[in-house]
Structure 1
Amino acid sequence: MYINTSRVFTYKKPLLITFIILIFGMAVYLRLDFLMSVNHHVSHDTLNYDIMVRQLLEKGIYAYKDSAPNAQVTPGYPLFMAAVYTLVDYHKHDPLPYIRYIQLIISLVTLWMIYKVSRKVTGQTASLIVLLVCSVYPPFIWSNGAVLTETLATFFLMLYIYVQLLVFEKKTNISALLGGALMGLLVLTRSEFLILILPVYAFHFFWKKDKKLTLRLLLFTCLGTGIVLSPWVIRNAVTLHEVVIASTQVNPFQAGTYPDKNYEDGLVDRHGKTQMEVAKERLRIGFTEHTWQFTKWYTVGKLKYIYSKMYFGSGHSPLYPVLPSPLGSTLHLALVYFCPVALVAHIRRWRQSITLLTLILIIMTLTRLAFVPEYRYNYTAMPIIIIMDAITGIAILRWVWQKVTKSGTSGPQEGVANYAECTRK
């Protein structure tokens, strides 16, 4: 038996278009009403970005938390801010409100890209549910008020995933080059995503069993990424006299070595040592002398910090309740706690395009366990979690319906594992 979620309901095109327009209308209203009806807090990171951008525009120095050139952060978001600052004449107008409204537009385009990615890997019913959930998921609304990387990074991530799915489908050099260029833009916004390239093509090789094709597509993807990153790499080589592909910031890695964020645990003497030296010594002592504590921290401890609560952006007042309390938190926890079920269901039949999303979620979660855990780290993962949950949830409901109506003949494991159009190959 195959579960075809696209036939849970039969849509006529005008009705489908009406549904999409209504959902987007609600999404626009919630995001616009949020930006206009609250006082937005400015975070410590935003203040540092503001100082950085003004220094760049006025003195031509690209430096984060310093007056001397550095590569502490990648230039994607600072350059986005600098462009807005210039367009609105930041000497006369506060540029932050303009950035927030531009981010609103970006978030709506991202919502459409999430829907397009969903349609690439599943049927219409699940895709509409994904679109609806993403339109009202509170962090996707609150983040528009935060002058931080989340909104822009999620846009590039979903655009990259969509094009990468096209690369697997079309197998052309141009599509791979474009996918690589989008990966470059994503890395310039959030550097940790660079690690995805090799696992993505390792998955493609084991899926398609075509070494020459995989290597060709990987080559053009790396070429596209390299072209986009090259100005940044060249700048770092010329200005800093070192090869920096992403960024040089070590603090998040070092801060991640403190179990439960107890930064005064006195495990090592930090005097006269670099952050990397402190981090390495803490890991050596931690895993040898406090093995259980550090093992727990680097697994369930950090996972709890990352996924247990919603991302609130930079904060605002009064609190904008996108959904009546406590529905927002309940929705988040339901999505997170159902995700392991979805992961198992998709991994059981991994030779399919949805596995790309599963792989990205797993790799990024494991990568973030190396750094200091923050709730904001779950933000870029949530579109993928919502897509995976919707596909699996619809598959389970379809199987239950078939069992209740006695129209199915398969067992529960087969029913959940086989998706047909719900998980296209």
Structure 2
Amino acid sequence: MNTISPKLFPTYKKPLFIMLILLIFALAAYLRLDFLVSVNHHVSHDTLHYDIMVRQLLEKGVYAYKDTQPNAQVTPGYPLFMAAVYKLVDYQHHDPFPYIRYIQVGLSLATLWLMYTIARKLAGSTVSLIVLLVSSVYPPFIWSNGAVLTETLACFFLVLYIRLQLNAFEKKTRTLALLGGIALGLLVLTRSEFLILIAPVYVFHFLWKKELRLTIKLLLFTCIGMGIVLSPWVIRNMVSLHEVVVASTQVNPFAAGTYPNKNYDDGLVDRHGKTQMEVAKERLKVGFTQHTWQFVKWYTVGKLKYIYSNMYFGSGHKPLYRVLPSPLGSLLHVALVWFSPLALIASLRKWRQSLTLLTLIVAVMTVTRLAFVPEYRYNYTAMPLIITMDAIVGVAILRWIWIKLSKSSSNSQKGAVSYAEPNGKS
């Protein structure tokens, strides 16, 4: 498998390597568990509505978000995960939120392991250890475990999907493509915006491999895997709502994204008697024709700044759990984000390689999210990929510098020897 970053250091002896991995995982587990038990966790607006929704589902059999009549406002991945935990812990007598948080710690650690295996497959042991260490102490990956929200579960399914998709591309088997499709389906049920991934991923595969039959075969089985997972949801929507809904019907994130700098009272259009979608479409038409520069700026650098400028804090907690001494946590996030464009460009210099899949997913999801209201939480699922890309390219750059310095030092020593020999003879 192609890699952008050959090994920088000699291969570790196996016992030492295993010990380093275990120590990093022990650190990661300690930080996550210590965080859960040492702070007071806030319960967000979305979590409160999820709780009402799940209780209504369990007690009345009605699947509806912010309503008492069936709807498809949100996909069922996280609500069903919550419902399963509620049932297991007897939610009428025990608070289910602490149990959900502890399960999310397990998912977070599993995500770390998947990130480690992806990095090792792409770039070897040195990079994989760096990815594992950075991810174990990156503050949002710890804070998110306290939030009863989709981020931790979605991140797990995304990294699982990437791991399986890379294996499917490498081994070209139907089974791996099917499993990749199942993982992608579970991801879509958790966060519907990821549905868009399947098309660009397989366009990339065809451009990379130039094997149309292979691409079609893998795509077909990936679609079958997705279909197995998504079909119950689609059928439910056809029966209950009398419409075909593959993802969700929520319009608010798209409509809210049409307000530059989140100024929801700018009075750009008359909203009276109109649906959210009608208002959103009218705002886009008026905005891009009459306030072109403002809207172009908002839908590019404005939203990018909102999405990536700050870390995701989960649903909030008190007192602030400083994973790293202040301000190292913020500096780590800023460094990762600002280095990522260089990593992206560097990875595209030789784009016919597995690393490009990560670059593609970051680019596609970033562009997709520019259509919606920007939130810091949107950078959360991109960060495992950004950390991996940054580590691979960063180590490659260090290796290049090391080779240049070594050659320069070697040439200098040779020059000194050849200069000294004539003097020695005279």
CA shift for structure 1 position 10: 2.3
Distance apart, 1:9 and its partner CA = 3.2
C-alpha distance in 2 between matches for 1:126 and 1:54:
45
Could you give the per-residue CA deviations for residues 298-330 of structure 1, whole angstroms, max 9, x where no partner exists? 000000000000000000000000000000000
Is 1:333 aligned to residue 337 of structure 2? no
Cross-structure match for 2:53: 52
Q: Secondary structure at the match of 1:31?
A: helix
RMSD between aligned residues: 1.2
Question: Aligned to 1:143, what secondary structure does the other structure show?
Answer: helix
What amino acid is aligned across from residue 333 of structure 2 in structure 1?
H
Give the gaps of 5 or more residues in structure 1. Answer: 410-425
1:3 & 1:171 partners in 2: Cα distance? Answer: 22
Kept in 1, the 8 Å contact 2:8–2:396? The answer is no
| Counterpart in the other structure of 2:273 | 272
Q: What residue identity is the alignment partner of 2:140?
A: P
Aligned in 2, Cα 1:408/1:230: closer, same or farther, shift over 3 Å?
farther
Whole-Å Cα distance in 2 between the matches of residues 13 and 272 of structure 1? 68
Q: How far apart, in 1, do the equivalents of 2:247 and 2:10 lie?
A: 46
Residue 82 of structure 2: aligned partner: 81
Could you tell me which residue of structure 2 aligns to residue 98 of structure 1?
99
Displacement of 1:6 after TM fit? 2.0
Pairwise CA distance, 1:7:
4.2
- The aligned counterpart of 2:418 is none
Residue type matched to 1:67 in 2? T
Distance 1:350 1:159 in 2: 22
Distance 1:70 1:280 in 2: 23
1:259 positional shift = 0.2
Cα deviation per residue 1:328-354 (whole Å; 9 max; x = unaligned)?
000000000000000110011100000
- Say if 2:155 and 2:381, in contact at 8 Å, map to a contact too: yes
Does the 8 A contact of 2:5 with 2:392 survive in 1? Answer: no
Which residue pairs with 1:39 in the alignment? Answer: 40
Partner of 2:424: none
2:195 counterpart residue number: 194
Residue pair 2:5, 2:393 contacting (<8 A) in 1 also: no
Q: Is residue 147 of structure 2 the alignment partner of residue 146 of structure 1?
A: yes
Moved over 4 A (4+): none
Q: Which residue of 2 aligns with 1:24?
A: 25
The answer to whether the 8 Å contact 1:342/1:389 transfers is yes
2:170 paired residue number? 169
Give runs of aligned pairs for residues 331-370 of structure 1, distance below 5 A. 331-370=332-371
Structure 2 CA distance for aligned equivalents of residues 307 and 7 of structure 1: 30
Paired residue type of 2:92: H
CA contact 1:399–1:408 (8 Å) conserved in 2: no
- Pair 1:6 & 2:24 matched: no
User: Which one-letter code corresponds to 2:343 in the other structure?
Assistant: A
Q: Deviations over 1:273-302 (max 9, x none)?
A: 111101100000000000000000000000
Report deviation, 1:3. 7.3
Aligned residue identity for 1:259: P
Output the amino acid matched with 1:265: D
Tell me if structure 2 keeps the 8 A contact 1:5–1:124. no
Which segments of 5 or more consecutive residues in structure 2 lack a partner in the other structure? Answer: 411-426
Note the C-alpha offset of 1:227: 1.1
Farther-moved stretch of structure 1 (117-126 vs 195-204): 117-126
Q: TM-score, normalised by structure 1?
A: 0.95
Say whether residues 1:216 and 2:217 are aligned partners: yes
Q: 2: distance between equivalents of 1:388 and 1:200?
A: 17
Matched, 1:253 2:258: no
Which amino acid letter does the alignment assign opposite residue 340 of structure 1? P
Q: Distance in 2 between matches of 1:113 and 1:19?
A: 17
Aligned equivalent of 1:377 = 378
Q: Is the 8 A contact 2:105 2:145 kept in 1?
A: yes
Change (3 A) 1:343 1:3: closer
Q: Is the 2:5–2:395 contact (alpha carbons within 8 Å) kept by the matching residues of 1?
A: no
Question: Amino acid of the residue matched to residue 192 of structure 1?
Answer: E
State how far apart, in whole Å, the 2-side matches of 1:252 and 1:47 are.
Answer: 18
| CA deviation profile, 1:341-377 (whole Å, cap 9, x unmatched) | 0011001110000000000000000000000000000
Equivalent position amino acid for 2:181 in 1: G
Aligned length: 408
- TM-score relative to the length of structure 2: 0.94
The answer to whether structure 1 residue 322 and structure 2 residue 323 are counterparts is yes
Given that residues 306 and 373 in structure 1 are in contact (C-alpha distance below 8 angstroms), is that contact kept between their aligned partners in structure 2?
yes
The DSSP-based 3-state class of the residue aligned with 2:344 is: helix
Give the letter aligned to residue 173 of structure 1. R
Are the counterparts in 2 of residues 3 and 399 from structure 1 also a CA contact under 8 Å?
Answer: no
Tell me the CA shift for residue 151 of structure 1. Answer: 0.2
- Contact conserved, 1:110 with 1:154, CA < 8 A, in 2? yes
Distance 1:4 1:250, change over 3 A: closer
Equivalent residues in 2 for 1:99-118, closer than 5 Å:
99-118=100-119
SS at match of 1:114: helix
Residue of structure 1 equivalent to 2:416: none
2:239 counterpart letter in structure 1:
V
Between the aligned partners of 1:214 and 1:5, the Cα distance in structure 2 is: 28
1:15 aligns with 2:16: yes
3-state SS of the aligned residue for 2:280?
helix
Residue 24 of structure 1 aligns to which amino acid in structure 2? F
Deviations 1:148-197 (A, max 9, x none): 00000000000000000011011111111111111100000000001000
Give yes or no for contact 1:120–1:165 (8 Å, CA) kept in 2.
Answer: no
Distance 2:408 2:215 in 1: 42
The secondary structure found in structure 2 opposite 1:365 is helix
In structure 2, distance between residues paired with 1:117 and 1:264: 46
The answer as to 2:298 corresponding to 1:300 is: no
